[in-house]
Chain A
Amino acid sequence: MSNEIMSELRKDYIYNLMIKGEREDGRKFDEYREITIDTNVIEKAEGSARVKLGDTHLVVGVKIQTGTPFPDTPDQGVIITNLELIPLASPVFESGPPREDAIELARVVDRGIRESESIDLSKLCITPGEKVWMVFIDVHVLDDGGNIMDAASLGAIAALMTAKLPAQRFGVGEDTPVPMRDVPVAVTAVEIGGTIMLDPSLNEQSIAGTKLTVISNQDGGLSGMQKSGVLPLTTEQINYIVDISIEKAKELREKFLEI
């Protein structure tokens, strides 16, 4: 109950700021919070990244091992993305199997990497039909400060870009980098009282009716989108979000994900 009252108060506060053209932390509507990405933070993982996006803090670990391919794609490697909202990260997260929010986040992160074809899956084949590389991307959220989606997506691609195929350990040749050919970046916007804001903070996210995540590639094309939340968006709002997301993704890619 106290949560409901707090959320109503917060809603008023953020809404009133919005009318004045402001956000609670002084950012512009299309401005991200401070981002830091450190790679290779977990030695045991084949690739890893720690991402801080404002108060949001998470670690992505990439583990790679050999396995059998799926019968319908015998000459392609496998990517599996998982994300957990563990109770350490927020008072509202509970232990147990992933729920719909965590599953949705994981699937959208996965969609960005898979649909942009950023990993050349055919180069992950060792013996067609028998042995391929399986790439496990695990996102561990440590502190939920809002917009886990973009932080997880940045972390996943940053971890993959530094990851190595552990060929030596599995006795199939020399270690090589994971074959990457694109850098998808997710940009999430929320709509509050008719205003579009990028990179929602926890408070903004909790009062926003709807989020839209747009994942774009190096060539400015789109490889994934997900609307999440119970309020509708108009075509104009969607087109506006797509446009600024592509620009913002370019900026983030140049700043944090240059090879």
Chain B
Amino acid sequence: MVKPEKLIENGIRLDGRKPDEIRPIKIKVGVLNRADGSCYFEFGGNKVIAAVYGPREVHPRHMQKSNSAVVRYRYNMASFSVEDRKRPGPDRRSIEVSKVSREALEPVIFQEYFPRSAIDIFVEVLQADAGTRTAGINAASIALADAGIPMKSLVSACAVGKVDDTLVLDLNKDEDNYGQADMPIAMTPDGNITLLQMDGHLTREEFKEGLEMAKKGCLMIAEMQRAALLEKYSSLIEGEVNE
């Protein structure tokens, strides 16, 4: 793949989106039997699946905390998820992504309710298409709720970037590869930023504008996350009322 001459033409991106438009999202809640909570999340070409186990016993024991739960997050890319086969297992990138993703979710989890226990979050990227960490966080947030883990709110994540000197929401693969900046953020619906990373080149003004744009993207995603959870659980609630 060579760099396309233009990534934006007449205000429309190569995949037909407007600059402030996110890719199509598909969410399925509770897709795994063994996990306590799970979610399948499609975000454009990204296909990720998140599972939550816990609260459960901590192994190894020395990791346990006497006054709260430990939250663990494992982000893993399948070897077939990308163009050139990825060597299986954790690499430096996935260790960093796991760390910041965990920290993106920890603020909303009532960890103090579960001393000496572990809440394990596993995110598998089945297909990657730019924005896997945000897709993973979106999925994990739903899976946590599906597992019944007490949370202050959901967390939604979305990236903003710069291509052809224009700020765009939710980069696709070409925009990620050939763009000028990439800034994934995660936030709670009340506007607390729980993940912020950036690379590339942005001016101070672009950064501020980009942050606002990403926040709007997160709010759109938050709506869809909520709707997906309601779809699964509202029928259960109605069922109880009817009896």
Contact = CB atoms under 8 A, between A and B. Distances in A.
B99 interface: yes
Interface of A is mostly: mixed
A221 B199 contact: no
A230 interface: yes
B93 to A, nearest CB: 8
A233 B200 CA distance: 22
Interface string A211-249: 010000100111111111111111100110011001000
B199 A234 contact: no
A246 B204 contact: yes
B107 A230 contact: yes
A229 B193 contact: no
A111 interface: yes
Given A228-B100, A238-B211, A223 B201 contact: yes
B136 to A, nearest CB: 16
B148 interface: no
B231 interface: no
Contacts of A116: 201
A140 interface: no
A115 interface: yes
A212 B183 CA distance: 14
Given A220-B204, A224-B198, A235 B211 contact: yes
A104 interface: yes
A234 B192 contact: yes
A244 to B, nearest CB: 11
Chain A interface category by residue count: 20 to 34
Contacts of B191: 234-235
Contact of A230 (B103, B188, B196, B198): B103
Nearest to B210: A222
Contact of A227 (B92, B100, B188): B100
Interface in B124-146: none
A232 B192 contact: yes
Contacts of B188: 232
Given A107-B92, A235-B211, A242 B196 contact: no
Nearest to A243: B204
A103 to B, nearest CB: 5
B121 to A, nearest CB: 14
B99 to A, nearest CB: 4
Contacts of A212: 196
A174 interface: no
Given A103-B92, A222-B207, A232-B107, A115 B200 contact: yes
Interface in B185-239: 187-188, 191-204, 207-208, 211-212, 215
A225 B201 contact: no
A229 B103 contact: yes
Given A104-B99, A230-B106, A231-B107, A224 B199 contact: yes
B95 interface: yes
B203 A227 contact: no
Contacts of A243: 204
Contacts of B172: none
A99 B63 CA distance: 15
Contacts of B99: 100, 103-104, 228
A35 to B, nearest CB: 24
A85 to B, nearest CB: 14
A243 B198 CA distance: 15
A111 B202 CA distance: 14
Contacts of B212: 235
Contact of A225 (B96, B198, B215): B198
Given A111-B199, A222-B198, A222-B204, A232 B193 contact: yes
B215 A235 contact: yes
A221 B99 CA distance: 26
B98 interface: yes
Nearest to A212: B196
A227 B201 CA distance: 17
A228 B103 contact: yes
A242 B199 contact: no
Report, nearest first, the 5 A-B pairs whose CB atoms are least far apart. A232-B192, A225-B198, A227-B196, A230-B106, A100-B99
Interface of B: 92-93, 95-96, 98-100, 103, 106-107, 183, 187-188, 191-204, 207-208, 211-212, 215
19 contacts: A99-B95, A104-B96, A107-B92, A116-B201, A221-B201, A221-B203, A221-B204, A223-B200, A224-B198, A225-B197, A226-B100, A227-B195, A228-B100, A228-B103, A232-B188, A233-B193, A234-B191, A234-B193, A239-B208
